[in-house]
Amino acid sequence: MTQEKIAQYFDALTSASQSLVKDTNISYIDALIEILEDINSQTVHREFDKPSNDVVQIIQSTIDMGWSLLSPAEKRKALQLAVLKANREDQTPANYQITPDGIGYLLADFINQTAGLRDNDTIIDMNVGSGNLLWTINEMLDVTVKRIGIDNDETQLALASATDEIINSDETTLYKEDTISIEEPPKAKVVVADLPVGYYPLQQSDKFITRNQNGRSFVHHLLIEKSLDFVADDGWIYLLVPANVLNGDEAKKVLQFVTSRAQLKAFLQLPNEFFQDARAAKAILVLKKQRTKNNEVLMGQYPSLKDLKSLQNFLQEIKAWVKLENEQN
């Protein structure tokens, strides 16, 4: 993979998106979605003589670049850069920012070692957003899986659908739903999500044990609880959660509930370098639906990815824990 090639396709998307924004006065993210859909259909969509002929030519040149010549990883990286650019231009809120590659790679490595995935198993992203975390994990998996993505934001799902069609040879099933409100959730061997942080804006059902009895509830607490409804009996859950999620009085209630219905397997804080603000730091929370004889919870923090020796030592510790887990399963 050449960075020059990726940059070439990113630059083309940038030029086309900027031209379409100026020509039609739509948001940058909407312009990007429209161009990606044009790439998928191999034709420029026009309504009421828009976009103009000049912009049509710019978009058509982007379509004609030969996207099929890129590998899935190259496509994903070019599109990731384009989405990052769109988020900056539109000042997208933090909960809609894409999950960085580095986090996706670490998570995929842990999934490969622990989940026991086989071809045609299903993986669900409960908060799929624009899809980058799910596409990154899919890219790194040792097997071919079916993919399901759920989100309640129409724009994010349109972006996920357009990028999915460009990157992946088989279609991802996408649902526009409020994950917390789904009454008959699909089941999967692996459930993942980069959880939004903050308060849930709606009145949640009384059936949620993790709800706040005296006010608004934390959406990430409710989603941790809800994840258990999506996972198959032999499945695993891998959630990106606030690093302080196990601290405080409310966290005790979350932990008590989770451990009553599943087994806490790991809590791994991500490298500090991924987060500009320490208060935004996240960790990987790992749960298993069926209990195993191994009651040792793997806890720690990934070292800086720049400190290769420390990182290799930490990865060896993970492998030793995985070996123990497999032996006692």
Band of residue 50 on the pLDDT scale cut at 50, 70, 90: very high
pLDDT of 251 over the 80 cut: no
Mean pLDDT for the chain overall: 92
Mean pLDDT in residue range 315-321? 94
Q: Is the pLDDT of residue 111 over 90?
A: yes
Q: Is it the case that residue 213 has pLDDT exceeding 90?
A: no
Q: Provide the CA 19 distance to its chain's centre, in angstroms.
A: 29
C-alpha–C-alpha distance, residues 250 and 246, integer Å? 9
Q: Does residue 139 carry a pLDDT above 90?
A: yes
pLDDT computed for residue 278 by the predictor: 79
Residue 269 has pLDDT above 60, yes or no: yes
**pLDDT for res 205:** 62
* Residue owning tokens 């980058």: 132
What pLDDT sits at residue 18?
97
* Stronger pLDDT, 295 or 7, i.e. the higher one: 7
- Phi, psi for residue 58 in degrees, rounded to 5: -65, -45
Q: Are 46 and 56 in contact (CB under 8 A)?
A: yes
Predicted confidence at residue 52, as pLDDT, reads 95
What is residue 1's predicted lDDT score, i.e. its pLDDT?
53
Mean pLDDT calculated for residue range 199-203: 77
- Span 249-258, mean pLDDT? 79
pTM: 0.94
What local confidence, expressed as pLDDT, does residue 168 receive?
A: 94
- Give me the amino acid identity at 164: D
Output the pLDDT for position 27.
96
Domains in the chain with CATH codes = 3-92 (1.10.150), 96-327 (3.40.50.150)
Q: Which residue(s) pair with 122 in the sheet? A: 146
* pLDDT on residue 232: 96
Mean local confidence (pLDDT), 117-146: 96
**DSSP codes of every residue in 197-225:** -SB-SS---TT-TTS-TTSPPBHHHHHHH
Give the C-alpha separation, 248 to 318, whole Å: 27
Radius of gyration of the chain from its Cα atoms, rounded to whole angstroms: 21
Question: Looking at per-residue confidence, does 327 or 63 come out higher?
Answer: 63
The predicted-structure confidence for 141-167, as pLDDT tens digits, reads as follows: 999 999 999 999 999 999 999 999 999
Mean pLDDT value of segment 255-271: 90
309 vs 200, residue with greater confidence: 309
